[in-house]
Chain A
């Protein structure tokens, strides 16, 4: 079964850090680009970051550029999102999503169930 399982969410103070993980199974992880997408309470979906299949190309939304880093370990079938200098407005459910393509940013055909990040003092 094709599956993505996020972990690592939780409560963190403003200015703090958190690392999210996304474990993939049921498909050849190294063949596909991956993204992180978030949804803040009462808001719509917001794309956060992208990694090409090799991890050699990454992109970020302007709202997180310089604060978040994306990486992947293809030997462990795992995608990561390192979030630093967290702000209250980063509070959201974070989803990892599999892209249809290796190069990415085409469409997301598999989504995880999400992990909640709450930034609050």
Chain B
């Protein structure tokens, strides 16, 4: 069982918005600003999409946004595109370690 809880799957049609939740505890998501999100296409290395809860690395479209409330972080993808179909993982600093979510499969219908 992963330390952070994510829905196993979400789906949306092109152009729509989807939100992926990531629930942790007061020891990780709730008390740290180092929450990040990764996109993973099959057979490829993970790609950093969001860091420090809300920041986007250079090159990541502004359709991707992050937020946090209490022990739950969220990744919102607006204006869904076919290439957004992938697995998404949240990640949080938890003091002297890092914890990941179990991953969410995003299907673009």
A: residues with CB less than 8 A from B are 35, 37, 44-47, 50, 59, 61, 95, 97, 100, 105-109, 111-114
Given contacts A44-B2, A45-B38, contact A108 B48 (CB under 8 A): yes
Q: List the B residue with the shortest CB-CB distance to A110.
A: B48
A-B contact pairs, 25 of them (CB 8 A): A35-B98, A44-B101, A44-B103, A45-B89, A45-B91, A45-B100, A45-B103, A46-B100, A47-B91, A47-B100, A50-B98, A95-B45, A97-B46, A100-B51, A105-B96, A106-B36, A106-B93, A107-B52, A107-B91, A108-B38, A108-B46, A108-B48, A108-B91, A109-B57, A111-B46
**Total residue contacts A-B, CB cutoff 8 A:** 59
Structural contact, B45 and A105, CB atoms closer than 8 A: no
Interface flag for B108 (CB, 8 Å): no
The DSSP consensus for interface residues of chain B is: strand
In the bound complex, CA of A16 to CA of B2 (Å): 27
In the bound complex, CA of A112 to CA of B47 (Å): 10
